[in-house]
């Protein structure tokens, strides 16, 4: 019989985008106009033929549930597969106690119900494409208890801050974890994605909860790393840790470059998302659009350059949008100039003629606001 695999999306301790993530998790934050970040990890699971998925939810369950719904979009066989958003209700108002470990303990029924042979754990804010079916086969063949995905990154002084750097022995084992404070620019960094057998996960949970009620899985991993062999597996190709509003804008716009885009989007690796049944995009006679992605349902009468426009956005005549991300349902009234800005969902830019930030400090207009 085939091995049983459970995919877990760990939404705990994800970074934040400041005001943009006040009412939502990064997992359910809009990305590239038509996705939410969680779509990438969920599609990695689905495309890797992982039949069951649990989403470990730290907070903002409304936003997360609204996006994933029943989860059927990311499940192949809806009887054999299982999808649940796992939420630690007793600890929700007690943030120190609200950890992924406590969430797994609270929702142990789900682990027992799926009763997997192996578990793949991945974080939604780190975006990459990876075929876990191959990684799983390699993991099993290696007879390791834990495999950890890492990437060799240049730019650690300004990215992957607070992520865990990993030091790897000649034999490919993790020897040490270290929080990245940006001291060196180049190094190996954990992507927060692990493969382990289910008893190992139970051991980690037990170890973590027995050591400290505040421990996360990552803390536990750090503590057991001297005694458990953690196999380091290098990820090659596109990877970005979306960890700030500035990086949200920068990395989003970077994907407008086809040579970058093609390292994330692969043939036969569809990214599944919630459908909104919006009509296609309408470009009016006065539209001028260059190097941009526009999601369905939008009506464009103005100029859009180097930007990402979400669903059902209205860009009126005389508008110029540059280097910006416009959220779904936003309205940009006539002759407005928007540059280096993030206009959140359903915001309306009606009364100001300029909304201009910088790439390092993008101007943010909150969801539903009228300016």
Partner 1 sequence: MKEEMVAMILAGGRGTRLKSLTSKIAKPAVFFGGKYRIIDFVLSNVANSGINCVGVATQYESTVLNNYIGTGASWGLNGTGALTSILPPRETPDGASWYLGTADAIYQNIDWLDKTHCEYVVILSGDHIYKMDYSDMLKFHKKNGADVTIACIDVPLEEASRFGIIVADKEHKIQEFQEKPKNPKSTLASMGIYIFTYKLLRDALIKDHNAEKTDHDFGKNILPYLLNNGRSLYAYPFTGYWKDVGTIKSLWESNMDLLDSDCLLHLFSKDFKIYSADTCSRPQYISPSAEVKDSIINQGAVVKGKVIHSIVSNEAVIEPGAEIVNSFIMPGAVIKKDVKVNYAIVGSKTVVSNDKIGKDEDIILVND
| Residues contributing to the site for partner 1 (CB under 8 A) | 32-35, 256, 258, 261, 265, 270-273, 275, 277, 279-297, 299, 308, 312
CA atoms within 13 A on the CB side of 324: 30
Cβ of 124: how many Cβ atoms within 10 Å?
Answer: 26
> Considering beta carbons, is residue 257 or 354 the nearer one to partner 1?
257
> Considering beta carbons, is residue 88 or 346 the nearer one to partner 1?
346
Q: How far is the CB of 350 from partner 1 (least distance, A)?
A: 20
Q: How far is the CB of 328 from partner 1 (least distance, A)?
A: 12
> Considering beta carbons, is residue 42 or 114 the nearer one to partner 1?
42
Cβ of 82: how many Cβ atoms within 10 Å?
Answer: 17
Three-state SS for 196?
A: strand
Q: How far is the CB of 289 from partner 1 (least distance, A)?
A: 5
CB 167, CB 174: distance < 8 Å: yes
Q: How far is the CB of 327 from partner 1 (least distance, A)?
A: 14
Q: How far is the CB of 228 from partner 1 (least distance, A)?
A: 38
> Considering beta carbons, is residue 10 or 130 the nearer one to partner 1?
130
Q: How far is the CB of 287 from partner 1 (least distance, A)?
A: 6
Cα end-to-end distance, the chain, whole Å:
59
Structure tokens at 370: 């009228």
> Considering beta carbons, is residue 31 or 364 the nearer one to partner 1?
31
Helix (H) or strand (E) segment spanning residue 211: helix 198-211
Structure tokens at 55: 């989403």
Alpha helix segments (H runs only) across 21-162: 38-47, 61-68, 100-106, 108-114, 132-142
Closest CA to 36 of 235, 277, 242, 323: 242
CB 39, CB 126: distance < 8 Å: no
> Considering beta carbons, is residue 186 or 258 the nearer one to partner 1?
258
């Amino acid at each position: 019989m085939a091995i049983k695999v459970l995919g877990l999306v760990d939404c705990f301790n994800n970074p934040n985008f400041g005001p943009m993530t006040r009412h939502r998790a990064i997992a359910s934050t809009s990305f590239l106009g038509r996705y939410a970040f969680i779509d990438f990890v969920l599609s990695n699971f689905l495309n890797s033929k992982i039949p069951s998925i649990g989403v470990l939810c730290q907070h903002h369950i409304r936003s997360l549930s609204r996006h994933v719904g029943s989860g059927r979009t990311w499940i192949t066989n809806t009887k054999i597969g299982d999808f649940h958003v796992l939420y630690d209700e007793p600890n929700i108002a007690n943030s120190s106690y609200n950890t992924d470990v406590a969430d797994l303990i609270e929702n142990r029924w789900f682990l027992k119900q799926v009763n997997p042979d192996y578990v793949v754990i991945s974080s939604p804010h780190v975006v990459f494409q990876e075929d876990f079916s191959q990684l799983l086969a390699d993991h099993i063949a290696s007879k390791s208890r834990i495999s950890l995905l890492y990437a060799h990154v240049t730019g650690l002084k300004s990215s992957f801050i607070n992520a865990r750097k990993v030091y790897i022995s000649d034999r490919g084992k993790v020897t040490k974890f270290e929080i990245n404070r940006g001291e060196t620019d180049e190094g190996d960094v954990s992507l927060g994605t692990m493969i382990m057998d289910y008893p190992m996960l139970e051991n980690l949970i037990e170890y973590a909860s027995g050591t400290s009620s505040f421990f996360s899985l990552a803390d536990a991993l750090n503590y057991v790393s001297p005694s458990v062999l953690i196999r380091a597996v290098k990820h090659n190709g596109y990877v970005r840790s979306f960890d700030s509003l500035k990086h949200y804008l920068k990395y989003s716009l970077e994907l407008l470059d086809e040579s970058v885009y093609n390292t994330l989007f692969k043939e036969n690796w569809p990214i599944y998302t919630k459908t909104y049944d919006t009509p296609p995009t309408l470009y009016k006679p006065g539209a001028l659009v260059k190097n941009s992605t526009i999601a369905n349902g939008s009506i464009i009468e103005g100029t859009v350059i180097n930007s990402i426009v979400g669903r059902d956005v209205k860009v009126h005549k005389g508008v110029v949008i540059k280097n910006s991300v416009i959220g779904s349902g936003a309205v940009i009234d006539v002759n407005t100039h928007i540059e280096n800005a993030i206009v959140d969902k359903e915001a309306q830019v009606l009364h100001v003629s300029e909304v201009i930030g910088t790439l390092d400090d993008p101007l943010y207009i909150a969801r539903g606001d009228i300016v």
